Amino acid sequence: MAAVHDFQHDPGFAEQQDALSTLLESLLSPEGVRAALTVWSRDYAHRPGALRAYANCLVREFGVPLGLREMHRQLVQHLLLPATRRGPVLLAAAAQTPDRAVPALTRAFVLLVGALLARCGQQDPKAATALRSTLVGAAMTAKLSRADRELLVAWLDGSGPVPARAYDEALLRELVHAAWAGLCTLWGPPVADRQLGAAVHAAEEQCAEVRRLL
Amino acid sequence: MLPRPPFPALAALALLTVTPQALAATDPAALKLALDTVWLVTTGALVFFMQAGFALLESGQSRAKNAINVIMKNYTDCCFGAFAFWALGYGLMFGKSPDGWLGRDHFLLGNAEQLDYSLLFFQTMFAATAATIVSGALAERTHYWAYITGSIVITGVIYPVFGAWAWGSLYEGTGWLKQIGFIDFAGSTVVHSVGGWCALAGILVVGPRLGRFGPNGEPRTIPGHNLGSVALGGFILWLGWFGFNGGSTAVAEAGIGRIVLNTHFGAAAGAIGTIAMQRLLQAPVLLTATVNGSIAGLVSVTAGCATMEPLHAMFTGLIAGMLMVASERAMLHLRLDDVVGAVPVHGVCGAWGTLAAGLFYAPHLFDPTRVTVQVIGICTAFIWAFPSAWLMFKAIDLTIGLRARGIAEQRGLDYAEHHEQGYPEFQGIALHEEIR
């Protein structure tokens, strides 16, 4: 019989419970927090990529006074990002020019998605937040090591530096596509095409690899 | 070197050989057969030219990054469809059918009478039209091979089966709808509604293009890339329709004059009806809608162009133009993404035209029995074509996948499916480096 991982005694689990408890205390009554924590440990803690489903549960069943997207973002911030990086979203982080030490393709990705987020934010800050949330959701479901995912999610979320890791080309292309699809949902395909075109143009001035991500 | 004689001089010389004496000396039956054949083949060629019209109309209404894909679908569905119809469709539709349900011979037609080949040629063009209606509706998000598979099944089975009921047989027996008096002269229902209902099924299975509707269902305009091509496509279809309806007599006869006049009136009134409806709704008068309006008019007079007076043809077209605008709005309300308006134009207006053929059947207007039969025919077309096409598209979706991948929608199907670009000089703002 395969060994079952005892996640409740995992030090990461205790840390997550604490972080979750801190978050829920600001949103629910003490009874609500206890019930929500029970549901988390029973149904979601052991499932990879279950944050969106848990966010949905909190909004629908516990009546958390947040939208699904915002709830999901808060969960990502509290449960997945290292404690030092928690805090308000740093909008400027996405637009920063990546260091030359960053692998070429990651650099191209950061430049392209950064330009896209910046353009999106100029037009409508709420849309930029929604787009970040879409990208975080896509990154969360990607097959990545925990460390690589945390770095990527932190950058996409706007609360971490540019990830100095070499990511798979297919994954980065998928994320660029998720950004385009997110723009389609927000504003429709003609605007999404225009925004992507302009972002490619801007990013290409600094990095020749950009079109490999399209 | 001697100068080449001009072409008109050669033509005049050739005509001089066809003297009345020469004609009189020919067997009248043979002459009639020759004339009928020339008429059928010429009009068949005109119907084939409609494929070009559809290609221009549909590609013009799509974005530049999908133009080649749309043209490829229009160009090749008639290639695959030709053999599907020859192998299976023609026999099912026109073969001997003693019980009036399905033809049982004339599959893979060969060693046949000369006129049979002309009929097969003409009917093959009709079958291609029924299939190609679907391509525009599903444009910009449908996998090329999935579409081709669908068009083969439509040409080889779905269209011919209903055709057998309404038009069969050419050899023995009569289709059951034809037996009860169903009138559809050139195929408002047989060709166009069947194509339209297949398109509706495809739209439901494939879903809307990414971002076509907002979060609250509000439709977002996705403009086509070449409205000049839309207008040219409209003109070509209009011209081709003279062959579509005129050729449906299958013989060179005096009644052709009324048929093509009614065809022209239907198209003109359709465009006017659309313009009037847009003005009534205080909407901008759009070229795309106006071209679609004329095609709606053409579709609607197709059933009754041989049996109604020009005044009624005009009225039929006018209503069709208005109905097209209303049904396009209804489609958007239901969040159905039909890129070129194939369902309103061909499905809905085909049904209306078939009803109008019963209402305005000259000289017995508004005969309730005839109208009832027409309604039975319209409903039968829907009951047959829509579920069978839905099942077919669903099966395609589950096996080879009907919908192109999301990344293909982003890159455009021209690159994703064909590795080509329609307009390489000025396209490529957000394209992968390989194709840029």
CA dihedral B132, B223, B345, B130 (to 10 degrees): 0
Determine, yes or no, domain membership for A85. no
Domain boundary among A46, A80, A114: A80
Task: Note the residue count of chain B.
Answer: 436
**B410 vs A187: CB contact, 8 Å cut-off?**
no
Q: Alpha-carbon distance A89 to A121, whole Å?
A: 13
**Residue A151 in contact with partner chain B when CB distance is under 8 A:** no
Q: Alpha-carbon distance B422 to B196, whole Å?
A: 27
Same domain, A73 and A95: no
Q: Alpha-carbon distance B41 to B46, whole Å?
A: 9
**A181 vs B430: CB contact, 8 Å cut-off?**
no
Total of domains in chain A? 2
Same domain, A121 and A185: yes
**Residue B63 in contact with partner chain A when CB distance is under 8 A:** yes
B265-277: buried (b, 16+ CB within 10 Å) or exposed (e) per residue? bbbbbbbbbbbbb
pLDDT of residue B430: 67
**Percent of chain A, pLDDT > 90?**
29
Which one is predicted more confidently, B351 or A133?
B351
| DSSP H helices in B140-218 | 144-153, 159-167, 176-179, 194-206
Q: Distance from CA of residue B8 to its chain's centroid?
A: 35
Q: At what angle do helices A11-25 and A68-75 cross, to 10 degrees?
A: 140
Same domain, A46 and A101: no
Determine, yes or no, domain membership for A121. yes
**Residue B220 in contact with partner chain A when CB distance is under 8 A:** yes
Restricting to A residues 161-200, those with a Cβ less than 8 Å away from any Cβ of B are 173-174, 177, 180-181, 183-190, 192-193, 196-197, 200
pLDDT of residue B436: 58
Which one is predicted more confidently, A195 or B429?
A195
**B220 vs A180: CB contact, 8 Å cut-off?**
no
CA dist list (Å): B157 to B88, B91, B384: 7, 10, 11
Residue-wise pLDDT tens digits, A12-39: 567 777 878 888 888 888 888 889 888 8
Domain boundary among A57, A80, A103: A80
Q: Counting runs of H as helices and runs of E as strands, what totals does chain B give?
A: 19, 0
Among A187, A189, A214, the residue with its CB nearest the CB of B411 is: A214
pLDDT of residue B236: 98
pLDDT of residue B254: 94
Residue-wise pLDDT tens digits, B85-115: 999 999 999 999 999 999 999 999 999 999 9
Same domain, A133 and A33: no
The conformation of residue A213, written as its DSSP 8-state character, comes to: G
List the Cα angle B247/B250/B251 in 5-degree steps.
Answer: 105
CA dist list (Å): B285 to A146, B195, B299, B341: 57, 27, 21, 16
Domains and CATH numbers, chain B: 33-418 (1.10.3430.10)
Same domain, A143 and A186: yes
Nearest CA in chain A to B405: A177
Q: Which residue, among A68, A175, A177, A210, would best test binding to B if mutated, counting the most B CBs under 10 Å from its CB?
A: A177
pLDDT of residue A98: 61
What phi and psi, each to the nearest 5 degrees, are found at residue B312?
-70, -30
Same domain, A113 and A198: yes
Same domain, A196 and A98: yes
Determine, yes or no, domain membership for A57. yes
CB–CB of B237/B295 below 8 Å?
Answer: yes
What is the domain extent for residue A121? 91-213
Per-residue pLDDT, averaged over A55-65, amounts to: 87
Determine, yes or no, domain membership for A86. no
List the Cα angle A40/A41/A42 in 5-degree steps.
Answer: 95
Per-residue pLDDT, averaged over A96-114, amounts to: 83
Same domain, A155 and A53: no
Give the contacts of B299 (CB within 8 A, at least 6 positions apart): B188, B192, B320, B345, B346, B349, B350, B353
Reported as type and span, the H/E element at residue B38 is helix B28-60
Maximum distance among all Cα pairs of chain A, rounded to whole angstroms: 56
Determine, yes or no, domain membership for A2. no
**Residue A211 in contact with partner chain B when CB distance is under 8 A:** yes
Nearest CA in chain A to B435: A211
Same domain, A73 and A100: no
Residue A209 has pLDDT above 90, yes or no: no
pLDDT of residue A94: 45
pLDDT of residue A55: 86
Q: Chain A residues with CB inside 8 Å of B212's CB?
A: 188-189
Domain boundary among A30, A57, A80: A80
Determine, yes or no, domain membership for A138. yes
Residue A164 has pLDDT above 50, yes or no: yes
Among B211, B429, B432, the residue with its CB nearest the CB of A197 is: B429
E strand spans, B146-263:
none
Restricting to B residues 196-215, those with a Cβ less than 8 Å away from any Cβ of A are 209-212, 214-215
Same domain, A194 and A132: yes
pLDDT of residue B18: 54
Per-residue pLDDT, averaged over A67-92, amounts to: 62
- ipTM value, please give it: 0.84
pLDDT category of residue A41 using cuts at 50, 70 and 90: confident
Same domain, A124 and A154: yes
Of B6, B402, B18, B49, give the one whose Cα is nearest residue B204: B402
Nearest CA in chain B to A209: B433
pLDDT of residue B314: 98
Q: Alpha-carbon distance B182 to B372, whole Å?
A: 9
pLDDT of residue A4: 38
Same domain, A204 and A100: yes
Among A183, A188, A211, the residue with its CB nearest the CB of B432 is: A211
The list of chain B residues with pLDDT below 70 reads 1-25, 428, 430, 432-436
**Residue B419 in contact with partner chain A when CB distance is under 8 A:** no
CA dihedral B44, B47, B52, B55 (to 10 degrees): -140
Determine, yes or no, domain membership for A1. no
